[in-house]
Amino acid sequence: MQELTKSEVDAMYRKIGINVMRIRKEKGMSQLDLALSIGLKSVGLISVAEICHNKKHFNLEHLYKIAKILDVKIADFLIDIE
């Protein structure tokens, strides 16, 4: 079994964040609107997770809630991840 490198995992989280940001913008939703819709009080998590700043990223619960709000499948966040 091949082990993933740290850089591969980091790249995966960056791509997920980019896909969340792209889909959010396509749906015309602001970071604040999305944050409030998933039960957050500020844009902090959304803003840093979309760009994977300081190794912050979305967890599975975040992705599930975001997919529901944006009316997409969680798999849509995984597009172009190898």
Cα angle 19, 66, 63; round to 5: 70
List alpha helices for 27-59, DSSP H: 31-37, 44-50
Q: Tokens for 47?
A: 């803003």
Mean pLDDT computed over 55-68: 96
pLDDT tens profile 2-30 = 888 999 999 999 999 999 999 999 999 99
pLDDT of residue 57: 96
Nearest-angstrom CA–CA distance, 52 and 16: 9
Per domain, the residue ranges of the chain are 7-77
70, pLDDT greater than 80: yes
pTM: 0.92
- The arrangement of secondary structure in 7-77, i.e. its CATH architecture, is Orthogonal Bundle (1.10)
pLDDT of residue 3: 86
Instruction: Give the length of the chain.
Output: 82
Q: Tokens for 32?
A: 């604040």
Nearest-angstrom CA–CA distance, 1 and 70: 36
Q: What is the mean pLDDT of the chain?
A: 95
